Structure formats: structure tokens, C-alpha cells
Amino acid sequence: MYRGFLRGFQTSGKFQGNGKTTFFRILNETANARMKGGLNVSKVYTWDQLFSRRQFLKGTVATAALGATAGIGLLEPEASMGLSNSPPQSPAKGVKYVTTICEQCVWRCGVIAKVENGVIKTLEGNPNHPNNLGKLCPRGNAGIEAMYSPDRIKFPLIRAGARGSGLWRKASWDEALSYTAEQMNKIKDKYGAKAMMFNSTDNLSQPFFESLLKAYGTPNYGTQRSLCFNSMTTGFLYTYGTPQPGTDYSHCKYMIFTGRNLAEGISNNETQEMIDMVARGVKVVVLDPRFSKTASKATEWLPVRPGADSAFFLAMINVIVAEKLYDKGFVEKYTQGFADLVTEVQEYTPEWAEKKCEISATTIQRIARDFAAAAPAAIAHPNWRTSNFVNSFQTERAIAVLNALVGNWAQPGGLIPDQEMSTAKLGVLSHPPFPLAQGIRLDGVPWKYPMVPLAYGVIQTMRDNILTGKPYEAKGWLISRQNPVLSIPERQKTINALMKLDFVVVIDIQASDTAYYADVILPESYYLERYDGLVPIKNKIFIRQPVIEPLYDTKSSLMIYKELAEKLGLGEFLPYKDELDLLSRQIKPFPVSLEKLKSDGHYEVENFKEDHSKDFEFQTSSGKIEISSSIMAQMNKKAVPTWNEPPRPEVDHYYLLTGKTAQHTQMFTQNNRWLLEVFPVNRAWLHTSVANKIGVKTEDDVVLESEVGKITIKAYVTEGIRPDCIFMVGGFGHVSKGLKSAYGLGASDSALHKTVTDPISGGSSLSETFVTVSKA
Ligand code: SF4
């Protein structure tokens, strides 16, 4: 009964609704595109001229008719329209199945693609893959649309008008990479390597991106983690010495979520495990100001006041300590600082917390007692970002400590230590030592944010410092698979920052909002057309491999990074000939050929023994779980979890909450027409009382205004949100005209969000933005 709750969350690759009809329409359009003929490489084109669907349709009746009747033969390579440097190829005949790894989000699920006469017909979940256990989510299923989208960038582009004007010219790969390298070397020679910033995060080829930026010598590496879960990773890092422990759903008897909406922010196997847990009758408590889909599946929904979840957890600790419900043996053996905690939480009684978080004292008491009784098979989930306030680091510390008190570490139904020791080790490529990066980082790590790990960074501060020119001027930005224009608060500031730079190069499969403001776009092959680095998960090694040959003149990021490194004179730092050479060397320690790995889709290491010997070796200063953090103490900060009062909105202002939907991935999939069929636009959730007050009903336009911006968006009137909150799904409101289906749809939260940063974790405190609402 729980399996069908996510629309489109299914084992079949056939998408629900009229997806099949859409699929053939897309195939026809793609085929028609090929009839357009060659482009003059020296001529300037608008985006519409480069990738016009209307022009695709001209003179293509015969081909379209053929496609509609035969459904095959439509996907000849781009060379047939004179746009490719690749030699002409013929699609392979017959049916084949290829195993690969999804990239419609960062979760890396196993996929089996069915290919018929060179056309990808279906994507199915790989039952052998632990990340998805045979199922694909809606976004994974819709990968076929992304593959055949007419909005793919089909060849390298160089800007030919003012930045952001949408005027481009076609370039060969040699020209585009040479020009990029020339601009990057010019910046390095004149201003030093530090003037060039590099951005990418969480993808299979990221280690090679990091090799490129380290070889170049810049300290400025941006990820997007500070926009997501910096408070969680730093909170757990400074408590357990590990940033992100796992959770054993299958044995858990009591789960508390706050800021983790697994039913809509899908992490495939975790979402399935959560639903199975609910089906088993496990007690699931969800703290969320909104009645999310996860809340709808929980046994108890607590509409907590935004920013005050911290009070709830501190009061739980108060009850567990006062009533001696903690695991005394575990606390004595594995933790430090318990006595300081006892003193700190004395004042955080359930009655005190009730006034802060607006959850009754009796409810807090009951949950604390029941949670402790279920321990160690009880988890306060580490979540992703709790409620997104400046105090979220302290909230995460309280959650981390609550788990420690009930002794659930490495216990069935509790937190799972990082399993690095129990994961197969790939072969590595040797290269010369990287040069020492010169200069401090523009994102303030560590000189402004001493507790933020270098690998996470604080991207919103990097953006701000491009604008201020302090502590030095940035000149160039290389961005791979990211879209800072829509992800960082205060969208206009990010556009201004891009406009200020001397040179911007973007690697992407589509014209993201950031690509639209670039000087060069290097088109990456879609995941179904390319290799990436191998992925070990415990005793299994998985491969992402091409399901079909690239349709267009695109390259894998592995080759883009390598060829760019060569043009920069840094080729020795990415020492592989091509993707297969790299993969062969990664798989070398194991008795399996690359051919066998490709045909099976994964390799299972024989006689692999999991190593749990280090489960209780905590990588903290004390070697123990730090209830009282040594590093916080050294920094003269409160070393035990504590309360920081979050701001409240003024009269007639509302908390602005943002979150995910199951049908889209951040700001990446809104141009996908299959997904738009099931989730066409974002809307502002208003409580009925608020809607009545301003006289609006569902589908009316409303204006939301914050200190930094204003948007118009459709209303969704509901009882399922606190009256002091307004919620919207992020990722809509694209400004790139290259995203023809998404352009103009909905509105962007990045136009409203203020830039507020937690000085400890570097996390972006998105929910500290308050808005007014009025009828449009
Ligand atoms: Fe693909 Fe969905 Fe898995 Fe993400 S969760 S990798 S989109 S199937």
C-alpha cells in the first residue's frame, strides 16, 4: 500500500501519464533537428537560431512520418546534419541491455537500459544495486527525455555578444579548449592562480576535477554544500569525528526526523527503507512546519516553529538526563563532557521548550521517554539541514548528542559508522606532486570560518567576495555541473558577480542559468552516453558506461578535464589516455577484465570481509564522542549543545520555507518535459487563514516580497502549513532562455532569499528570510 505513494515511483521504465506519447514526440523533434543542416562556425547566432525547435520542424515531414510509423531510425548521429566533428555512424541493430548508473540526481542508482536499434526505449532499476534495490524514482525514469531533449547543448559554444545577451558562435573542441586554456593562463600569469575559481561537487568524476584545480594551483574550490548540509556534517564531525553516519532503518524501532523529507527529497534506497519502516508500524515522528509527504506517512506530525527544533531536542536531553534514561555504561566509556551537558540542559525543561518550539511539554516528555525506552534501536536522524537557521549547527549538535546518550552507535537499529574500512579500494593513478596553492580562499575558509572543512567551503561568501573584490579580486570561474545563479541566495547578486569577471567557462549538458552568462560552454555528454570514474560500494564495484554513442559533439567530463589540462600544460596531472585507460587502471587490483565489468555492470569482490575494528575509534581530539567539543572550547565557544534564540518575523511577515518535490532535482530537471507533466510549476503554500485575510484562493497569483527581492507566484491554499509560514518548492523561475520548457515557469526562491551565514558551520540560513504576501 505504501509503494504507490510517490507518483511514478515504480520498477517499470514506462513513465506514467502520456509519457510514451511524449517520448515519440521528442524522438521526432530530435530527428527533425538533424535535418537542419550545417552551421557556419564563424557566424553569430542567437540561442533560438542555434537550437530552434521551429526550425527543426521545417522540411522534416518525411522523417517525422517515418518516425511516427516505425519508431526507429530517428537517431542518426549529429554528423548527418553537419554539426558534428565525429565521423558518421550507423545505429546498431537489434535489442541490447546495458547496465549503468543514473545521474538525474547525486544518489547514483543502478540502471538497466534497454536499447532497440540504437534507441534507448526504457530505463529499469538494477536489482543488484544497493542504492535503489531495483527501483527508479520519477526523475530516474525521465532520464530518457533529458537524453533526447532538443535543448541539449550539442557542440561547444563561444560567446559572441555581450555577456548574457544570448549571442553565440559554434566552436570546434580544439578552439573552445584552446581559448579556455589561453584565458585561464592569462589570468594566472597576470593575477596568480588564486584569481581563478573552480566549482563542482559530488559527482563520479569529481576527483579528476579536483586534480585539475590542484594542478592549476588555486585555493579557490567551491562546492554547494554550504547551501545544503554544512550544519549537519560539521555538527556530527565535531561530535563523532565523522561527518555523516548512516542509519539502520531495518532494525529501528523509533525514528525522529527534522529537516529530512525522504518522501520528497528522494534518496532512493533510504526512501524505500523509510517507507518499509512505516509499513512495519515503527514509531516515526516528523518535526516540520509543513505537512510534507513524509509527515503524512509518520505516526506523529509536530508542526514545530521554524528555527526552534533546537529547543525540542534540548528538552528531550533534559528529560533523559533528569530521569536517568541514558545509557550510563556507553556514556562513561565512549563520551566526554557529560557533566557539562547536565549543567547546561538544566534550564531547558519541556515547559521552557514549549514556549519556544510550540510543541506541548507533555508531548516532549512522552517522546523523550518512549525514545529512550526504544533505544538503542532508536534514532534522532542526522537529517540534512534541520530548519536552516543560524542555530542549526547547535540543533545538529543536540541531535548528535541525543543519539550518543542512548548508546545507539553501531547498534542494530541505530547509527552506522562510516564504512570506509569496509569498501573495496580502487587502483590509483600516480602523478607529480601538486603545486602548493598560494593565497587565502575567497570563501573565508578558514580565515573567517575556522571550523568549516576546506572540502565543503562557503560558496555564498565566495560570491559576495567576487563582488566586493576583498580580500582580492577574482577574475575567472570554471563551473562544472552547477548552477550558482539559481542555487545561491540573492540571484541578482550572483548574476552581477558573473558579469564582473573577466572569464567564465561552464561545463554542462544544458544551458543552465549560469551557462547562459558564460563566455564558453563546453558540452558534456549525457550520463547515458559516457563513462565516469568507477564507484565502489562495500564489496561491489559499479561502472557508469555509455548505453549508446554520444548523439552530438559532446565529451565526457573525464576527457574535458584531461584535454583542458593538456592545453594548460598540466597534462601530467591527469595521466590517462582516455576513459578506458583510466577505468582499466582503477580495476587493476581485482581479477576481472574491464570487458567483464562492462557486461555485468558491476564486479563483486570475492572473500571480502567487512572491517568493523575501527567502529569505536572516534576521530576527535579526545578520541571519544565529544558531548563537550574540544575544538569549540578552544575557539571560546559554548562547547556543549546550547540554545540560541532564532529571529521571528514581524507582524504581517512570514517565514519563507523552501524544499523539494519528488519529481524534480534541485534546479536541474525543470526543463524535463516528462517531469513537467507530473509537476508543472511551483506554488506558494499559504495557510487558509492567510489566504482568507488577503482574499486569494488556489491558483490566484500572489506577490511575495523579502528584503532583497519580489516574485509573483501561484497560490496553493492549504491547512497543511503553519499560519506563520509560506512554503515553495525551489528550482523553478529559470532565467536561461536556453531552457525552453522551463523558462518563465514558476518563480525562484533565490530571488527572495537573504544571504545569512552560520559563522560556525558556514551553512546558508535560508529560513531566516521573511516575506510579505499580497494578492497580485
Ligand atoms: Fe536516479 Fe532517482 Fe536514483 Fe537519483 S534517486 S539516482 S534520480 S533513480
- Residue 131 Cα: closest atom of ligand 1: 3
Report the sign of the C-alpha dihedral through residues 721, 726, 731, 736, in that order: positive
Q: What is the mean pLDDT of residues 553-566?
A: 98
Residue 171 pLDDT > 70, yes or no?
yes
CA distance 123 to 213: 35
Instruction: Of 31, 137, 147, 49, give the one whose Cα is nearest residue 527.
Output: 147
Please write the tens of the pLDDT for every residue from 607-627.
888 888 889 999 999 999 999
- Residue bearing cell 506577490: 703
pLDDT at 418: 80
**How many whole angstroms separate alpha carbon 9 and alpha carbon 138?**
5
Q: What is the pLDDT of residues 104-130, one digit of tens each?
A: 999 999 999 999 999 999 999 999 999
- Checking if the pLDDT of 384 tops 50, the result is yes
pLDDT of residue 60: 30
pLDDT over 50 (residue 349): yes
Q: Which of 396, 392, 398, 316 is nearest to 349 (CA)?
A: 316
Nearest-10 crossing angle of helices 338-345, 309-322: 110
Any atom of ligand 1 within 6 Å of the Cβ of 268: yes
C-alpha cell read off for 38? 550545417
How many angstroms separate the alpha carbon of residue 145 from the centre of ligand 1?
14
In the predicted model, what is the mean pLDDT of the chain? 89
Q: Is the CB of 153 under 6 A from ligand 1?
A: no
547 neighbors 103 (Cβ within 8 angstroms): no
673 has a pLDDT exceeding 70? yes
Q: What is the pLDDT of residue 602?
A: 95
Of the CA atoms within 13 Å of residue 380, those in its CB half-sphere come to 29
Among 401, 244, 237, 428, CA closest to 330: 401
Rounded alpha-carbon distances, angstroms, from residue 193 to 25, 144, 169, 435, 458: 47, 40, 28, 11, 19
CA of 283 to the centre of ligand 1 (A): 27
CB 643 within 8 A of CB 348: yes
- pLDDT at 10 exceeding the cut of 90: no
| pLDDT tens column, 691-730 | 999 999 999 999 999 999 999 999 999 999 999 999 999 9
What is the tens place of the pLDDT at every residue in 232-286? 999 999 999 999 999 999 999 999 999 899 999 999 999 999 999 999 999 999 9
pLDDT value of residue 84: 38
What confidence score (pLDDT) does residue 15 get? 33
- Please report the atom of ligand 1 found closest to the CA of residue 136: 8
* pLDDT higher at 26 or 294: 294
Residues 212 and 203: their CA atoms lie apart, in Å, by 15
Closest ligand 1 atom to residue 104 Cα is 7
> Burial, 772: exposed, middle or buried (Cβ in 10 Å; 0-12, 13-18, 19+)?
middle
Q: How far apart are CA 10 and CA 648, in angstroms?
A: 41
Q: What is the mean pLDDT of residues 638-645?
A: 96
Closest residue CA from atom 5 of ligand 1: 268
What is residue 772's three-state secondary structure? Answer: strand
Q: Decide if pLDDT at 70 tops 90.
A: no
Instruction: State in Å: Cα 223 to ligand 1 middle.
Output: 20
CA-nearest residue for atom 4, ligand 1, is: 105
- Shortest-distance atom of ligand 1 to CA 267: 5
CA of 744 to the centre of ligand 1 (A): 26
Residues 293-319: what's their mean pLDDT?
A: 97
What is the Å distance from ligand 1's center to 71 Cα?
27
Q: How confident is the model at residue 38 (pLDDT cuts 50, 70, 90)?
A: low
pTM, to two decimals: 0.89
Q: What is the DSSP letter of 3?
A: G
For the residues 548-558, what does the mean pLDDT come to? 97
Report helix, strand or coil for 318.
helix
Of 251, 291, 244, 297, which Cα lies nearest the Cα of 271? 297
Contact 298, 292 (CB under 8 A): no
Model confidence pLDDT, tens digit, residues 395-443: 999 999 999 999 999 999 999 998 666 788 999 999 999 999 999 999 9
Ligand 1 atom closest to residue 137's alpha carbon, by position in its atom list: 2
| pLDDT score, position 39 | 63
602 residue type, one letter: H
Q: Name the band, by pLDDT with cuts 50, 70 and 90, for residue 211.
A: very high
Predicted confidence (pLDDT) at residue 139 exceeds the cutoff of 50: yes
